[in-house]
Amino acid sequence: MNFEAFAAKWFVIYYSIVGLCLIGGGSYLSLKKEKMKSFILDAAESEKPPRLFIRILKYFFFFTLPGLVLSFTPFSWVELLFTLWSLLLVYVAGIQLVQWEQRRQLIKTNDQKLSSIIRRWGSSAVAVGLAILLLAYFTITRFPA
């Protein structure tokens, strides 16, 4: 198997997993927003950020790094932009976790708005997940087996 085929398969698998996780997670957020609200409010009581958020961010980062290398073999703007977008998400979310003390105060003071924010995040995650699945389809049609 050549490296170009390996890169294409990596991105198909990566896009599919990220897309399905976003659709599943976004649907969960939209349907169970009160349960997630209570989780976030409970997490805001702790001085440390939730371990779940740290783990999700860590694994997303570690699975994004190979994509950065593989987007250059063969060079593809689509894969490079997606990987850079993923790294930007990791960076922005990481900043939020580093500034947890300030974020938890904001969560506590704006708890009445939390349900609508969670619902919007869930809807956005579903939409982005569908777009990422379209990227997987685009990659499959560009590099047929």
Across 6-33, average pLDDT: 94
Residue 143 pLDDT > 80: no
Supply the pTM of this predicted model: 0.88
User: What is the per-residue pLDDT across 116-126, written as a single tens digit (0 to 9) for each?
Assistant: 999 999 999 99
Determine the pLDDT at residue 4. 84
User: What is the per-residue pLDDT across 59-114, written as a single tens digit (0 to 9) for each?
Assistant: 999 999 999 999 888 788 989 999 999 999 999 999 999 999 999 999 999 888 99
How does residue 1 score in pLDDT terms, banded at 50, 70 and 90? Answer: low
Count of alpha carbons within 13 angstroms of residue 25, beta-carbon side = 14
Q: Could you tell me the two tokens for 39?
A: 């989780």
Q: Are 4 and 73 in contact (CB under 8 A)?
A: yes
- Helix-helix angle 114-142:33-44, to 10 degrees: 110
Determine the pLDDT at residue 120. 95
Residue 145 pLDDT > 80: no
